[in-house]
Structure 1
Amino acid sequence: MLNKIEQIKGYMYKKAIVLDEWQTREGIYIQPGQYKVEDEEWKTIKIGEEWVAKDDTTRWFKKTVVIPQDFDGQKVVLDIEVGGEGLVYINGEIRQGIVTYVQPRDEKRSRVLIAEKAKGGDTLEILIEAGLNYGEYAGYRARGIPFMKYTFRKALLAVVDPLVEKYYFDARVTYDALEVLRGSIYSMWLPREVVQALSLLRKDDVLSLKVLDALESSLAAVDIDFDRERLVSTLEEADKILMDKLNAIHYIPEATVLLVGHSHIDTAWLWPLKETVRKCARTFSNTVALMDEYPEHHFVQSQPQLYEYTKEYYPELYKKIKEKVAEGRWELIGNMWVESDTNVPSGESLVRQILYGRKFFQNEFGRFSRILWMPDVFGYSWALPQIIKRSGMEYFMTSKLLNNDTNKFPYTLFWWQGIDGTRILAYLQQVSYNGNINPRYINDAWARFNEKASFNEAMGTYGFGDGGGGPTYEMMEYSRRLKNFPGLPRTEISSAEKFFDDARERAVDLPVWNNEMYYEFHRGTYTSQAKNKKNNRKSEFLYRDAEILSSLALQYGKSYPAKEIEYGWKKILLNQFHDILPGSSIHQVYEQCAEDYREILEKGSRIEKDALMAVVDNINTSGCKGIPLIVFNSLSWNRTDVVKAILEGDVVKQLSQRNDLVLVDEKGKEVAFELDGLGDEKAAIIFEAVDVPSMGYKVYELKAEAKTKEDDSLNRETAIKVSKNALENRFFEIQLDDDGNIRSIYDKTAKRQVLSPGGRGNVLQIFEDKPERESAWNIDLEYQKKSWEVNNVVSVDVVCSGPARGVLRIAKKFSSSTITQDIVIYNTIPRIDFETKVDWQETEKMLKAAFDVDVLSPEATYEIAYGNIKRPTHWNTSWDKARFEVPAHKWADLSEGGYGVSILNDCKYGYDIKDNVMRITLLRAPVYPDPVADKGYHEFVYSLYPHQGDWRQGDVVHRGYELNVPLKAVIARSTKEGLLPGSYSFLNLDKQNVVIEVLKRAEDGNGLILRVYESQGIRGDVTITCSIPFKKIVECNLMEEDERDVDACENSFTFYIKPYEIKTFRIL
C-alpha cells in the first residue's frame, strides 16, 4: 500500500518548469551582516553540479523567473534543493529557510510557497544565501574532512494539484495510523516474536481491521497505472470512500494530546554563535510563512537572545514576529536569556537569566512567560523551583531525563519541590522535543504518560530543531487529519500555557519529586572545557563585586554604570548556554568565548576598580605618613585572610630604596608582611588582614620607620615551618612521601589524624577516559578500571616559610604533561591550598585529586546554586550508583558527628565521593566535538579544609566564598581628609547562616536591591545593619516587583527567613 501512496505523491505537481542555470558566487561570512566577497563575478551553476562549503564560507544563488501565464490563479511553489542550509529571498524579502542533507533525512525542507493564487507574468527575483549544514558536517569534521560537497539537486517552479495533495495526505496519514494500530511500527526495533505476541494482545483489532478496509477500498478505487489525467479523475471518489469509512468507525478517545509548534535552536553547539543568527532567520521566517498558510498553527520560542539577534540583523522579520505575538499565535516562552545550564552557573546567574530575559520580553512584547522551558539541559538544580516561583512563573518543562542511562525517571506530570519547600508544576515530556507530527508520535505521547489516573492530557512539541527549521507544512497537513483519528488520542493544536493551566485546574493526586533532577548521563559536562568554566566563575564574582562597589560609590556621587553592567551580564549569560558552558561545542565556539571573556573581565575589572577608588577617595587617610593601603571585604561577615596587594610604578621605586619598612593597621598595630618582587617594576606585598569588617574595609599604612629589636622579631616569629617533605603551622602537621603525595595530616586543634590509616592525600590520579559516545559530554563508569598515579617528581622546592604563609612547590611529569603545585599553609587560616599549574597535553584522559579521609558518613554535602544538597557516598541502589560523578559549586563536604573535611575550589565543578575517598575532578581531554579540548595551560586552586563539627559548625559556606572572593587591596590616590573612618562596615547581618549575595541598583533605577539567602537550613529572625541612608525597606520578588513594606529602624531592619529561602529587598 505504501508504494501506491508514494506513487500518487509523484503526481503532486500539476505543472512544473525546471529552473536551470543559476548564477552563483562565494563569499566569507565574517560576522552577522558582514561578508567578504573576493570575486564579485557571478558564475553559472546548473542542476546536478556540485559546490563546496567550508567553515565560514557562504554561497549565493540567484535567478530571475517569470511566472508562466498558465500558472495564473493557482497555488505555486518553488521546490529547490541547493544543498546545506539556506535562506530564500523573493523580490528582496525574506521568504523562508530551506535545508537539504547529503544523506536523505526527514528534516529536509525544500518547498517554498510562492503564492496561493499566483499571477501569471509576475517576475520573481530569487536569491538564496546558503552555507554548511553544520549538524551534518560535524561527522565530517570529526573525521578531519574540512569541507562538504553539495549537489544542486533540483529547482522547480510548480503548480500544486490540490486534489492530489489532499488525497496523498489522507491516505498516508491513514497508512501511518494503521501501522501504529497494528503494532508493526515497532517491528523496526522489537524482535519479531515480541511483535507477534503484541499483535495477539491488541484490544483494537477490530478497529484496525476497519481502518485497513477503509484504506484498501480507497486505494482500489484509484486508477494508478494510467496517465496522470485518469489517475487524478479517480481521486475524488477514492477520497470519499476513505473518509466515509473512517467517519463510520465508532471510537471514543480516552485522552487528548496537545500539540505545540516549536524549534529548539542551540545558541551554539556544532556551529559558532554567528551561524545561530542565520538559523534564527531561517527558522523564524519558516514559522511566519507557515502561520500565513495555516491559520491554526501555534508556535512557542524561548531565548530572548535569539529575538535580540533577529531584531538587530533582520528587523523586517522581527516586525512580523511581533505581529504574530500580538495575535496570540506566537508564544513567548522560557524567560531565560538563553536555555542555560543549571549545574554550573551560580544561583544569581540563574536569577539574572530570568531577570534580563523577562525584561526583554516585557519591554518588546508587553508580556512574558509563566513557564521555564528547558527541554535539553543536562540536569536541573534543586534551587530551580524557588527561583521559578519567585520570578513570577508557575511551571517547568523538560524532556532530557528520558535519556537517563540507568534509571527511568518515574513521573511525567508532577509537583517538583525545591530545596526551600517551594512546589511548581513540572512536566517531563515523554517524546522528543524535536517532534514530527505523525500517529506514532501522538500515540507515544499518551502511551508513555505516567499519570493517566490523574489527568487525561499530554503535550508534545512538533518541529525540527536547529538547522531543521521548526514545523513543516507536512506536519500541519498531518495535524489536520489527526484531530480525531480512530484508535488514537484526539489531538489539538494548542499553547503550552493551556496545557499547564488545564493540568493545574484538573489534575488530581499528582506525585511529588522532592530532590534535584539529576541527569544520569553527560557527567563529563561538569569538567570539559575547564578554561571556560574558570572564566565563568571569575566573571560571576567580578560582576557581583562590581555591583556592590558601584552601589556604594553611588552614595558618594559616582554615577552607576547600569548599561555597562547589563552588557557584561548578558555576555556572561550567553556563554552559560547549555552547550557552551558545559563544554560540548566545537573549537570555534571556545575561541569566541575566550574573546568574550576577555571583554567581560576587562570591562568588569574597570568598573570594579573605578567604583572602589570612588569609595576610597572618601576615606580619611590624613593621618597616614606613609602609603595608605585600603583592604576591602565584599563578603557579608568579618573575615581574616591573606591579602596580596600589587604595587606599581613610583611606589615600587620608593620602597625598593628602603629597608626599614613597617606595616600597621588602622590602630597603629604592626603587621607582619612579605614583599615579593621588590626591585622590579611591579611588586606584591603579602600579609594577613585580621577582622576586616563585613562589606567594608580596613586601612593599613606602609611606612618607613626605625625598627627596634622587638619590631625586627615580628616578621621572624612564625608558627610556619616548611621543608621538602613536611609543612607545619599552628593548625596542621603535614608529611609527604617520596612521590610528593601527602601521607599524614595531623589536625592539632582537633588532636586527630585527617587521613584514614594507611591513606594518602592529594594523590593525583589520571584515568583513561574513553566514553562509548559523545566524548565531551560523558564519563562512563568504566573509567575507574584503568588509571595511573602522577608520581614522577621532577623537583621539590621550599618557596617561603612565613610569616603569613608557607609554600612548598612540587613539580611532576606525566607523559607529555607537567603539573606544578604550590602546597600553601597559613599562619591564621586553617586551610591547605593546592595552587596548581598544568601544561595539559593528554588525549582522552581525566585528572582527579584524591584524599582518603578518616571520616565515616553515608552521605556527603555539596554546594549548589543558592544552597546545598546531600548525596549518598554508597552504591546501595542503582539510583545511588548512577551518581558516580556529581556537580557542585565551591565546595563538597564529608562530615561525621563531630568532624569533617571539605574540598574547596575556585573553578571546578565535578566531584565523586565514595565511602571515605573524596575526589575532585580537575581536567578532562575529550576529542569530540572539539578534538583539542582542554589541551594547554591551566591554573586553578583547590583546598583541603578539615574542621570540627559538621559543615555548618565548620562554616564551610564562608570558607568556600573566601577562597573565591579574595580581599581587595588598593593604594589610596593621596592622603586626605575624608568622611569615612579607618575601619568601616557598610552592611552586616547578625546571623552567620545568611549570606548577602547581591547589592545593586534596581533595574528601574528606584533605589538599591539587596538579595540574601539562607545557607544552612536554619530558620529565624535576621537583622541587617545598613550604613547606607534609607527611608524605606520593601520586600520584592526576584524580578524586583515590590510585595510588602518591612519594619525598619534608623539604620537596620529585621525579617524572618526560612531554610534555604532567597529574600530580596529594595532600599529606598
Structure 2
Amino acid sequence: MHDDRVHIERRIRRILDERLRPSVHGATAPLDLEFWEAPGEPVPVKEGLAASYGEAKPGHVWGPVWGTTWFHLTGTVPADWSGREVEAIIDLGFSTTGPGFSAEGLVMRPDGSPVKALHPLSTWVPITEANVDLYVEAASNPDMFAEGFGVPHGVGTAVGDIETADQEPRYRVRRVELAVFEREVYELVLDLEVLDQLMRELSTGDPRRWNILRAIEAGLDAIDPRDVVGTAGAAREALQPALEAPAVASAHRVSAVGHAHIDTAWLWPLRETVRKVARTAANVTQLMDAHPELVFAMSSAQQWAWMKQHRPAVWERMKEKVATGQFVPVGGMWVESDTNLPGSEALARQFVHGKRFFLDEFGIDTQEVWLPDSFGYTAALPQLVRLSGSQWFLTQKMSWNQIDKFPHHTFWWEGMDGTRILTHLPPVDTYNSDLSGKELAYAVRNYAEKGVANRSLVPFGYGDGGGGPTREMIGRARRLKDLEGSSRVEIESPSAFFRKAAEDHQAPSVWAGEMYLEGHRACYTTQHATKVGNRRSEHLLREAELWAATATVRTGVTYPSAQLDLIWKRVLTHQFHDILPGTSIAWVHRQARTEYAEIAAELEQIIGDAQRALAGNADASTLVTFNAAPHARDGVPAGGGEVAPVAPHSPTDLRDADAGIVLDNGLIRVVVDERGLITSAVDAATGREAIAPGSAANLLQLHHDLPYEWDAWEVDRHYRYAVTDLTQLEALTSGQREDGVAWIEIVRTFGASRVTQTLSLSPGAQRLDIDTEVDWQECEKFLKAAFPLDVRADVSTAEMQFGYVQRATTTNTTWEREKFEIPAHRYLHVGEPDYGVAVVNDSTYGHDVSRTVRDDGGTTTTLRLSLLRAPRFPDPQTDLGIQRVKYALVPGASLLDATREGHWINLPGRSVPGDRPVTPLVEIDESGIVLSSVKLAEDGSGDIIVRVYESLGVRCRSLLRVDAEFGSWSVVDLLERSLDVPPNLVQKTEEEGAFTVSLRPFQIVTLRLHRS
C-alpha cells in the first residue's frame, strides 16, 4: 500500500508539472515590443506613456539597478480565436526567488488606467479586445537575496544605495506573446492541487486520504497526455465526488482575508514602495472584478495616501472597491510602526493620523489594529487601541519567538493600565499564506484554543510587491469552503472574523503586559543615527506644539497646524518597523538622516517664532528661558518661561585626590580614576555609594557580534562570551567652565575607532552627564557602556510609552533568560525598596541588566547601555563615521527622579531675548502626572487639547490648571471625540480654569477645552 501511494504521488507531480500546467495556455501569437529607459528616477505616468520608444524583442536586456524601463506591447488577437479567453504572457526575466524581491511591472492602458501587476508568479494579463495596446512600467529592482547581492546571514553590497550601485542591466525579456487561456485545464489543475495537498496532510490511517487518492487516480486515468484540453473535462468529472464531500460539523473555521504585507521600506527605498502599492492595488482590483467574493485588507494610511497623491488612477479603483466592501482599510495607524521605539505621543499619533485618514476619505472608523510584523509589542498598546476607538488587535510576529512558544492565539491582551482588547495571532504562522493544504492543516494543529474555540484568521496573498492574492488562491478557497478532511474556509473581512471569534470564544485567556519578542533584539541599537533623528524629532514636536499653542492663545499668532500635520506624518512614516529599527538598506537610512535634518530645521523655526512672540521685546538685554519639560527646572516652571536666570548654584568642586579626580556639587560626589573610569558615585541625601565595590562604571566594552543570521536584526546571547574592556587611555584632562560646570575629558582608541567622552557635573544637578562621541570604524562589533551598581534589584524598570515596564533581572525561567537585551526609552532604573539608581539617555534604546553575588555577600546589578553595532547586512556601512550619544548616571534616584531627569536630558532649556515672563498654559501640581502634550485641536477649531498620564504606576489625584479662557470642556479620545467617562475622572473646580484629575496607574486622559 505504501509503495502504491508513493507511486501515485509521484505520478501526480509529473502530470501536473509536465502536462497540465504547461497546457493552461495553449495556442500563441506574437506581440510587438518597444522600450524606453527612463533616465534617473521614475517619471510620472503621463511622461512614460508619451516617451519615444525603440524596438525590442524577446531576449532584450534591460534594467540597471533601481532603474525604470517602459515597454509598449501591441498586436492583434487572431481571428480564429474569437469567443475564446485570451491572455498576454509577459515574462520580463523575473528571478525565480519569488514575488517581491525581483523586477516588477505595472500594466497600463494607453490612457494610464491600471490593468494589473507583473511579478515572477503572475505573468498573465487578461485581453478583452482584438487590438492589443498595452504599456508596462517595469522596475529593475535588485534581488537582494540572489547571489552577489547579499543574504540574511551574509554581507550587504553596494546595490543597497543608488549612489553606489553599478548600472549593469540585470534582466532579459523571456516571453512576450498572446495565448489562449484554457479555462477547463486551469480548473483541473486547481482541483488536483487542492485534493493532492489535502491528501498529503491526512494520516495514512484516515480513510478519507485513500478515498482522495483513488479519486485522483481515476482523474489521472481520464487524461490523455496528448490531448489534455480535450480530456480535462472528463478528468474533472472523476474528481467531483471527492470535491463534493462536505466537511464535518466540527471542522475548524478559517476566515481567509486577502492581504499583501508591503513593507513601507526595507530592501527598497520609500519611493519604490509607492510603486509596489500601486502594482498590488491594481492587481487586487482586477481580481475583484473577476472574483466578487474577494475581500482584501490593506493597512497603513500612508500607503493609501501615496496612491491618492501619486497614482490617482489606482486610487479611483481602490475607492470603487472600498464602496463595494471588497477593499477594506485596516490597521488604524499611519504605518505599521515599530512599537518598542516610538515615544508616547508618537505612538498615539500613529492612531490619530491613521484613523483620521480613513474617516476623512471613506467615513470608515477602523476597528482592528493590524500589526503582523512589528518586532514585539509595548504594554501601552491596549489602552491606545481603546482610546483610538478601536477594539481588536492582530499580530503574527510572536510566532517568531526563538525559545518560548507564545501560549495563545485568541486571547485578551491586558495593557499596563488594565485595559483589555481582544487579540488574535493567526495560528497559520504567516501573513503571506497561499491557502495550501499544508498551511491550513498546520493552522489547525497549531491552534492553541482547541476545545474552547474553533476559529482562526489566515491572511493570504504575496506581499512586498508580490501583488497580493492570486486567482489560484481564490480558487483554492472556493474548493475548501466545505470539503471533507479540511477546515472550512470562508473569505471575509477581519471585522467579520473578530465578531465571530468574540461569539465563539466566550472566556479567552489573558496575557498581561508587554509581548516581548524573543528575537530581533539588535533592532534597539542598529542604525544609531536613525534613532537619534527620531528621538530628536519627537521632542522638537513636543516643543513646537506647546510653544505654538501658547503663542496662539496668548498673542493671536497663527497656529501652524498644516505644517505640524505634515511634519508629524513624515516622522510617523519613518517609524515603520524596518526603518526606525535600522533594518533597511543604506539608501533608506541615508534619506532618513536627510529627512530628520530638514524636520529639525523646520521645527526649530516654529519653536523660535513662537518663543519670540511670547518673550516680548526682542531688543531687550535680558533673556527669557523656556522649559518644555513636564517638571520645573532651575526656577523655570514646566511649560513656562522666566526672565533672567535665577541665582546660580555654588560651583562644582573639581580636585585631584589620591583616588583620582573628584567632582562634587554638594548633591552628588563622583570619583574618576586614572583610567578615566567612575569608581565612586555617592548622593549626599543618603550618603550611599552607587558603584559596586571593586568595580568601575562607564566602562566601555566591545563584543564580537556575528549573529546566526539576519545581521541588522539579531544579537545572539553568545556575544557576551567574548568581551574586551576598553580601559587604555590616549588622553585624560579636566577643567571647569565659567558657569561652574566641572568636566573631565577622556579619549580612547580601539581597533580603527576613537572615542571621546566628556563627563560633566553641573551646579545643582543630581546627575553626572556623559557626552560620548565615537568615530566608529568597526565591523561586526557591539559597543556597550557598563554601570556595575551596588544594589540588589529583582527587577529593572524601563520607561516605555506612557509609563514603564518591569522585567526580572533573574534567569529562573527561559522567559526571563531570553530578555537578555531589552528596550527602554529615556531611563532604565534598578534599585532596592529604599534606594535606586538610574541611567538616562538622549538617544539609546537597547540595554541589558544582569546581576551577580560578590564574595562579600553583596549583589552587583550591572546595567549596560547598547551604544553602537556594525552589522554588514543589509547595509555594510552601518553607522560608520561620527556618532554621538549622551547619557547620565543618576545615583539615589527614585522612579520620579528617573522620569524627571529623562525628560531634562532630552528637553534642554532654551533662551531668547525678551522681557516678558511666560506663565504656563497648563500646570499640574502632582509630579507623577506627566503632561504628554499641549496643542490645538486637529480640526482647526482652536480648541486646546491637553493630554496627561500617570507615570509612576500609582493611583494619583492632581489639580490641573489652564491659564486660558474657554467655555465648555470634555474628556476625549485620541481623535479628540467626546468620551463617556466616570464623573470623578475629571472634575471642574470652583477655581477659574482648574480641574481635578484622578488617574489609575498609567492611565491616559485627554482633555478638550472649547474656546469658540
* Same structural fold, with TM-score higher than 0.5 when normalized by the shorter chain: yes
Which residue of structure 1 lines up, in the alignment, with residue 1008 of structure 2? 1066
Which residue of structure 1 lines up, in the alignment, with residue 870 of structure 2? 925
Which residue of structure 2 lines up, in the alignment, with residue 835 of structure 1? 771
Supply the distance in 2 between the matched residues of 1:26 and 1:1054 (Cα, whole angstroms): 66
Task: Name which of structure 1's ranges 231-240 and 986-995 shifts more when overlaid on structure 2.
Answer: 231-240
The answer to whether the aligner puts 1:1025 opposite 2:970 as a matched pair is: no
* 1:291/1:874 CA distance change after superposition, 3 Å: same
Which residue of structure 1 lines up, in the alignment, with residue 232 of structure 2? 235
Q: Is the 8 A contact 1:30 1:36 kept in 2?
A: no
Match of 1:629 among 593, 606, 623: 623
Per the TM alignment, residue 97 of structure 1 is displaced from its structure 2 partner at its CA by: 4.6
Per the TM alignment, residue 717 of structure 1 is displaced from its structure 2 partner at its CA by: 5.8
Rg (Cα) greater in structure: 1
The answer to whether the aligner puts 1:400 opposite 2:397 as a matched pair is: yes
Alignment of 1:928-1007 (within 5 A): 928-947=873-892, 950-952=894-896, 955-972=897-914, 982=917, 984-1006=919-941, 1007=943
Supply the distance in 2 between the matched residues of 1:309 and 1:68 (Cα, whole angstroms): 40
Task: Name which of structure 1's ranges 82-91 and 837-846 shifts more when overlaid on structure 2.
Answer: 82-91
* 1:733/1:88 CA distance change after superposition, 3 Å: same
SS in 1 for 2:516: coil
Counterpart residue identity of residue 153, structure 1: R
The answer to whether the aligner puts 1:638 opposite 2:632 as a matched pair is: yes
Per the TM alignment, residue 875 of structure 1 is displaced from its structure 2 partner at its CA by: 1.1
SS in 1 for 2:447: coil
The answer to whether the aligner puts 1:1047 opposite 2:973 as a matched pair is: no
Residues 134-159 of structure 1 show CA distances to partners (whole Å, capped at 9, x for unaligned) of 55469615355745622211122112
Supply the distance in 2 between the matched residues of 1:166 and 1:216 (Cα, whole angstroms): 17
Q: Is the 8 A contact 1:437 1:475 kept in 2?
A: yes
CA RMSD of aligned residues (A): 2.2
Which residue of structure 1 lines up, in the alignment, with residue 5 of structure 2? none
Q: Is the 8 A contact 2:796 2:807 kept in 1?
A: yes
SS in 1 for 2:411: strand
Per the TM alignment, residue 636 of structure 1 is displaced from its structure 2 partner at its CA by: 3.2
Alignment of 1:838-853 (within 5 A): 838-853=774-789
Supply the distance in 2 between the matched residues of 1:498 and 1:245 (Cα, whole angstroms): 30
* 1:605/1:173 CA distance change after superposition, 3 Å: same
Match of 2:127 among 105, 109, 114: 114
The answer to whether the aligner puts 1:44 opposite 2:38 as a matched pair is: no
Per the TM alignment, residue 909 of structure 1 is displaced from its structure 2 partner at its CA by: 0.3
Q: Is the 8 A contact 1:900 1:947 kept in 2?
A: yes
Residues 396-427 of structure 1 show CA distances to partners (whole Å, capped at 9, x for unaligned) of 00001111111111111100000000000001
Alignment of 1:331-346 (within 5 A): 331-346=328-343
Which residue of structure 2 lines up, in the alignment, with residue 220 of structure 1? 221
Supply the distance in 1 between the matched residues of 2:147 and 2:407 (Cα, whole angstroms): 34
* 1:245/1:382 CA distance change after superposition, 3 Å: closer
Counterpart residue identity of residue 284, structure 1: A
Counterpart residue identity of residue 879, structure 2: D
Per the TM alignment, residue 221 of structure 1 is displaced from its structure 2 partner at its CA by: 1.7
Q: Is the 8 A contact 1:261 1:461 kept in 2?
A: yes
Alignment of 1:834-913 (within 5 A): 834-913=770-849
Alignment of 1:127-142 (within 5 A): 127-134=136-143, 136=145, 140=149, 142=156
The answer to whether the aligner puts 1:153 opposite 2:174 as a matched pair is: yes
* 1:144/1:1066 CA distance change after superposition, 3 Å: closer
Per the TM alignment, residue 238 of structure 1 is displaced from its structure 2 partner at its CA by: 2.3
Supply the distance in 2 between the matched residues of 1:1029 and 1:32 (Cα, whole angstroms): 52
* 1:966/1:424 CA distance change after superposition, 3 Å: same
Q: Is the 8 A contact 2:277 2:465 kept in 1?
A: no
Q: Is the 8 A contact 2:382 2:419 kept in 1?
A: yes
Match of 1:693 among 618, 624, 637: 637
SS in 1 for 2:892: strand
Supply the distance in 2 between the matched residues of 1:90 and 1:41 (Cα, whole angstroms): 17
Which residue of structure 2 lines up, in the alignment, with residue 211 of structure 1? 212
Counterpart residue identity of residue 629, structure 1: L
Q: What percent identity do the matched residue pairs reach?
A: 34
Counterpart residue identity of residue 636, structure 1: P
Which residue of structure 1 lines up, in the alignment, with residue 9 of structure 2? none
Which residue of structure 1 lines up, in the alignment, with residue 98 of structure 2? none
Alignment of 1:406-805 (within 5 A): 406-431=403-428, 432-555=430-553, 556-617=555-616, 627-640=621-634, 691-700=635-644, 718-723=651-656, 725-800=661-736, 803-805=739-741
Which residue of structure 1 lines up, in the alignment, with residue 855 of structure 2? none
Q: Is the 8 A contact 2:109 2:115 kept in 1?
A: no
Which residue of structure 1 lines up, in the alignment, with residue 857 of structure 2? none
Which residue of structure 2 lines up, in the alignment, with residue 649 of structure 1? none
Q: Is the 8 A contact 2:731 2:748 kept in 1?
A: yes
Counterpart residue identity of residue 654, structure 2: K
Supply the distance in 2 between the matched residues of 1:248 and 1:305 (Cα, whole angstroms): 45
SS in 1 for 2:337: coil
Counterpart residue identity of residue 872, structure 2: V
Supply the distance in 2 between the matched residues of 1:218 and 1:701 (Cα, whole angstroms): 90
Residues 203-262 of structure 1 show CA distances to partners (whole Å, capped at 9, x for unaligned) of xx21111111111112112222x3x3xx43333222112102443577445221110000
Which residue of structure 2 lines up, in the alignment, with residue 169 of structure 1? 190
Per the TM alignment, residue 1021 of structure 1 is displaced from its structure 2 partner at its CA by: 2.3
Q: Is the 8 A contact 1:631 1:692 kept in 2?
A: yes
Task: Name which of structure 1's ranges 782-791 and 3-12 shifts more when overlaid on structure 2.
Answer: 3-12
* 1:875/1:248 CA distance change after superposition, 3 Å: closer
Per the TM alignment, residue 471 of structure 1 is displaced from its structure 2 partner at its CA by: 0.7
Residues 21-43 of structure 1 show CA distances to partners (whole Å, capped at 9, x for unaligned) of 52223223425639999x97644
Residues 806-825 of structure 1 show CA distances to partners (whole Å, capped at 9, x for unaligned) of 11111111111111111011
Supply the distance in 2 between the matched residues of 1:293 and 1:526 (Cα, whole angstroms): 45
Match of 2:755 among 809, 814, 819: 819
SS in 2 for 1:63: strand
* 1:128/1:36 CA distance change after superposition, 3 Å: closer
Supply the distance in 2 between the matched residues of 1:715 and 1:484 (Cα, whole angstroms): 80
Q: Is the 8 A contact 2:115 2:286 kept in 1?
A: yes
Supply the distance in 2 between the matched residues of 1:222 and 1:610 (Cα, whole angstroms): 80
Give the gaps of 5 or more residues in structure 2.
1-11, 94-102, 151-155, 160-165, 852-860, 981-985
* 1:1031/1:245 CA distance change after superposition, 3 Å: closer
Supply the distance in 1 between the matched residues of 2:500 and 2:134 (Cα, whole angstroms): 47
Counterpart residue identity of residue 34, structure 2: Q
Supply the distance in 2 between the matched residues of 1:451 and 1:133 (Cα, whole angstroms): 42
Task: Name which of structure 1's ranges 773-782 and 784-793 shifts more when overlaid on structure 2.
Answer: 784-793
Match of 2:366 among 347, 365, 369: 369
Supply the distance in 1 between the matched residues of 2:650 and 2:182 (Cα, whole angstroms): 96
Residues 690-711 of structure 1 show CA distances to partners (whole Å, capped at 9, x for unaligned) of x212321211179xxxxxxxxx
Counterpart residue identity of residue 440, structure 2: I
Task: Name which of structure 1's ranges 238-247 and 927-936 shifts more when overlaid on structure 2.
Answer: 238-247
Task: Name which of structure 1's ranges 773-782 and 45-54 shifts more when overlaid on structure 2.
Answer: 45-54
Per the TM alignment, residue 984 of structure 1 is displaced from its structure 2 partner at its CA by: 3.2
Per the TM alignment, residue 506 of structure 1 is displaced from its structure 2 partner at its CA by: 2.6
Count of residues in correspondence between the two structures: 955
Q: Is the 8 A contact 2:665 2:763 kept in 1?
A: yes
* 1:929/1:138 CA distance change after superposition, 3 Å: farther
Counterpart residue identity of residue 202, structure 2: L
Q: Is the 8 A contact 1:722 1:801 kept in 2?
A: no
Per the TM alignment, residue 994 of structure 1 is displaced from its structure 2 partner at its CA by: 0.2
Residues 159-179 of structure 1 show CA distances to partners (whole Å, capped at 9, x for unaligned) of 212222222221222112112
* 1:532/1:744 CA distance change after superposition, 3 Å: same
Counterpart residue identity of residue 862, structure 2: V
**TM-score (norm: length of structure 2):** 0.91
Which residue of structure 2 lines up, in the alignment, with residue 89 of structure 1? 108
Supply the distance in 2 between the matched residues of 1:249 and 1:604 (Cα, whole angstroms): 63
SS in 2 for 1:284: helix
Per the TM alignment, residue 1057 of structure 1 is displaced from its structure 2 partner at its CA by: 1.1
